[in-house]
Amino acid sequence: MLVLASASPRRRELLTQAGYSFEVHPAHIPEELLPNEDPIAYVTRLAREKAQAVYNEIMGAPGLDFETWESTKDNASEERASAAPQVLGADTTVALDNHILGKPESPADAARMLRLLSGRTHRVLTGVALVTATSTEVAAEVTAVTFLTLTDEEIDSYIATGEPMDKAGAYAIQGRAARWVPRIEGCYFNVVGLPIALVSSLLGARPTR
């Protein structure tokens, strides 16, 4: 059984579009940035923690920490391994000059982020993790996204739509912000929220619909 540890409708749509059969079990973990943590370390850590938390909940050990689970996973029986779920976790963020721009806290914060991104190239990073009874695999995808120069009127109008408020970096490339992106370098689906080719490589030859 494949389980997506995310409530994101965009990740659900992308995984469904790729032909995977799965269940949704959102993770609820703190997402604070650790001191001196760089963007790739941040998204891969959160992806792993989300997948691990959901795996533990499904298996009836919600309080089990990663180190304890890691020390016992190699002893998983073949029967347990075949019955246990494969849990996919993901986390996406935007980084400009190695500074993380998460989800905006307010319309003013969204405007601040969009002004920072205006006329510049930033990175979108997604960490993905696959937790099973016997292993944890973690990887990351990075895409460079270039923005046109934005006017204050464009920013204010965009914020008024409400679209930026639950998006890392305060924009959705698959939405109205598409008009501001003349170029990307890397995986488009990564910017939407789930790098499908990378996820497929982690899942291997899992059957599709």
**DSSP code of residue 165:** G
Is 166 noted as a catalytic residue in this protein? no
Burial label, 44 (beta-carbon count in 10 A; 0-12, 13-18, 19+): buried
The answer for residues whose C-beta is within 8 angstroms of residue 55's C-beta and 6 or more apart is: 3, 5, 84, 85, 87, 131, 132
Burial of 64 from C-beta contacts in 10 A (0-12 / 13-18 / 19+): middle
Of the candidates 38, 65, 74, 91, the residue annotated as catalytic is 91
φ, ψ for residue 13, nearest 5 deg: -65, -40
Q: Which residues are catalytic?
A: 91
